[in-house]
Copies of this chain bind each other. A is one copy, B any other.
């Protein structure tokens, strides 16, 4: 018999085309919760290809995945496949029904929405996709981290770190969260002030929308609207 902390099961859904920092940022913070056990669940057991040129070995498939205390769905361009895959959406529904916390980072909230978990809830997403949340009956709230009951959604990519510290404070107390923040030297000093459309140069924003996000958001909207 040991008298260690009770296991706290954290389940991340992984998939090809994940924006890996959506997952790895929160994982770095949440894995330090006392008793944390991190599970990485995929549809088919084989390494998943991230968007950053490397692959991650998953720990479980969807069928064998333990019930999450905290379920977290990251985002990325692979979201388009996730929201069209009924087995994965059923996995999110099943896990979400029993999890203490149902969470997402970036476009992961669209997967929660496609699974029907955001109906009537306040939520957020990556700034380029927040307009899609209402298609799932959710109300977009403009914040980096949005908590509505047991549903916590984060904005784009790096917001996952702020999200995770918020969650740690809730689960393990503010002191533990602050200690984790200190150990990760999370005292950010971005070299530029362009991290959100509200503060970025308008021409830069327009160019990025034109090059990447207008098309990407339209494609996702088409998939969601498909009968």
Residue in B51, B126, B190, B197 whose CB lies within 8 Å of A188: B190
A92-111 to B contact mask, C-beta < 8 Å, 1/0: 00000000000000100000
Closest to A209 in B: B182
Question: Once the chains bind, are B199 and A183 in contact (CB under 8 Å)?
Answer: no
> Does residue A122 face the partner (Cβ distance < 8 Å to B)?
no
Q: Once the chains are docked, how many angstroms separate the CA of A178 from the CA of B193?
A: 8
**Contact pattern, A 21-58, Cβ under 8 Å of B = 1, otherwise 0:** 10011011001000011111000000100011111111
Given contacts A54-B40, A188-B161, is CB(A197)–CB(B182) below 8 Å? yes
Min C-beta distance of A58 to chain B, whole Å: 8
Chain A 185-202 residues near chain B, CB threshold 8 A: 185-192, 194-197, 199-201
Q: 9 shortest A-B CB distances, which residue pairs?
A: A156-B185, A187-B195, A38-B53, A24-B24, A178-B194, A188-B188, A21-B28, A187-B196, A55-B57
Of A81-89, A113-121, A132-140, A162-170, the one contacting chain B is A162-170
User: Contact at A184–B156, with CB atoms within 8 Å?
Assistant: yes
